[in-house]
């Protein structure tokens, strides 16, 4: 497969002079999602964990409702000699699901991680997120531990400083909880889709853990998290106003601007145990 990281020659210029050397940078390549022979989407993505990407993207887009809707999956790499450079993720759907898909087929060709290119109406762009289950509650200390576990696990970003990550933290995975899955990509939507695909394939109950993002929270990130069935989404960066409104309607607990010294809760704080401040927060946030 195409390597996800490439080392290139570069010249570093500082006030003290210029120095030749190498820099690790992330690869990005066209990745086509193909359902029963028809291309549904073409995304620019990091060529890693592509089967997870195929399942996760198909699930969060609503093309499939469960793993059982996919009879077979394969990835094919194309080079310049074949006339097309990139990767196809081919999913063969059940007859019932394939028939439903024909009625809603659309093609997307967009920039890195674009989740809305090709959408034909404003209604589709801002469709309500799926309502999330009640799930479990988390302490502020657990959320802080989850956020702190992100940087050491971002292997591609350590090399490149140029990719996003989406991860899942499970409080029951160890004495102090544990980051059980992390996926990286040049596209933030792609990273989350890869994570969704992995979690669904591994049979993990997303309502019992925390989805973590290193990127800002837009409406699509809320929609994808809700489709997974997670009740808590925590991001290092800030959310958009539309993302907050969407999370609120979906019943999703959204915390963001998570740093070493704390985080901010924007919706449904009832899933976070905050001691004496909890009731006041619920009164303000709802």
Point out the residues that are catalytic. 114
Which two structure tokens, joined as six digits, stand for 85?
């450079």
Contact 116, 61 (CB under 8 A): no
Q: Cα–Cα distances in Å, from 73 out to 54, 77, 89, 91, 277?
A: 8, 14, 7, 4, 49
DSSP 242: H
Contact 230, 207 (CB under 8 A): yes
DSSP 84-136: --EEEEEEEE-HHHHHHHHTT---EE-STT-SSTT---HHHHTPPPPPPP---
Question: What are the strands, taking DSSP E only, across the chain?
Answer: 5-14, 17-26, 29-35, 38-45, 70-78, 86-93, 108-109, 138-139, 164-170, 178-185, 210-213, 232-235, 253-259, 262-267, 272-273
Q: Cα–Cα distances in Å, from 239 out to 125, 171, 172, 218?
A: 17, 24, 28, 6
DSSP 240: P
């Amino acid at each position: 497969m195409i390597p996800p990281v490439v080392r290139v020659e570069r010249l570093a210029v500082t006030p003290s002079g210029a120095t030749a050397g190498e820099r690790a940078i992330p690869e990005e390549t066209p990745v086509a999602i193909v359902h029963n022979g028809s291309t549904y989407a073409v995304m620019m993505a990091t060529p890693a964990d592509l089967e997870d990407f195929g399942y996760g993207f198909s699930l969060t887009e609503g093309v499939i409702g469960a793993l059982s809707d996919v009879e077979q999956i394969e990835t094919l790499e194309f080079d310049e000699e074949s006339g097309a450079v990139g990767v196809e993720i081919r999913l063969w759907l059940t007859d019932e699901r394939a028939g439903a898909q024909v009625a809603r087929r659309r093609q997307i060709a967009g920039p890195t991680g674009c989740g809305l290119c090709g959408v034909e109406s404003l209604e589709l762009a801002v469709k309500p997120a799926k309502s999330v289950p009640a799930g479990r509650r988390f302490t502020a200390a657990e959320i802080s531990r989850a956020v702190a576990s992100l940087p050491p696990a971002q292997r591609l970003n350590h090399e490149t400083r140029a990719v996003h990550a989406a991860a899942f933290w499970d409080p029951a995975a160890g004495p102090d909880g544990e980051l059980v899955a992390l996926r990286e990509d040049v596209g933030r939507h792609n990273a989350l889709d890869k994570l969704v695909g992995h979690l669904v394939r591994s049979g993990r109950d997303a309502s019992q853990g925390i989805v973590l993002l290193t990127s800002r929270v837009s409406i699509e990130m809320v929609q994808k998290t809700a489709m997974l069935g997670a009740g808590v989404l925590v991001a290092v960066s800030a959310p958009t106003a539309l993302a907050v409104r969407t999370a609120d309607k979906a019943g999703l607990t959204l915390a963001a601007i998570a740093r070493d010294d704390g985080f901010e809760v924007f919706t449904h704080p009832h899933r976070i145990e905050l001691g004496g401040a909890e009731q006041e927060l619920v009164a303000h946030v709802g």
